[in-house]
Amino acid sequence: MDNEGFISIEYLFLVFVILIITVPLLFLSQSAIESNFNMEDSLSHRLVLDYVADAISQVNSNGEGYSKYIELPSDIGYYEITVENNKLTMNYGNKKGETLLPLLNIDSKYKLYSAKSYLISKGSDGKIVIS
C-alpha cells in the first residue's frame, strides 16, 4: 500500500511540474501568434499607403495633364487616407500610418476611402487634383 501511494504522489508531482512548464509556454505562443497577425495587418495597410504615395508621386513627376486612375482595395477592411500638403495619413481601426511626399503641390485636403476609385491628375497650373 505504501508503494502504490508513493507512485500516485510521484505522478501527481510530475503532472504539476508539466503544468508549471506548459502554461507559460501557451501564453507565450498566443502572444507570438497575435503579434504575427498584427504585423501582417500593418504590412498590408502599409502597402496600400505606399501604393497611393507612389501613384501621386508618379503623377507629380510627369508633365501637366498627366493622370492616373487608382482603385483602393477593400479586402483588408475599412480605412481612410488623408492627403494634405506633402503628407499622407492612413487611419484604420485604432491605428495610424503616415508617409511623406516631398516636393508635392496639392491644391487642397483630400480624403480617400477604401473600396473606392480615384483619378489623380496634374493640372495646367502644376497642382495635383484627386477626384
Q: What pLDDT is attached to residue 5?
A: 57
pLDDT over threshold 90, residue 117: yes
Q: Exposed (0-12), middle (13-18) or buried (19+): which is 68, by Cβ within 10 Å?
A: middle
What is the pLDDT averaged over residues 64-72?
Answer: 92
pLDDT over threshold 70, residue 85: yes
Residue type, 50: D
Q: Exposed (0-12), middle (13-18) or buried (19+): which is 127, by Cβ within 10 Å?
A: middle
pLDDT over threshold 50, residue 44: yes
pLDDT bracket for residue 93 (50, 70, 90): confident
What is the pLDDT averaged over residues 29-50?
Answer: 85
pLDDT, greater one: 6 or 71: 71
Q: What is the pTM of this model?
A: 0.75
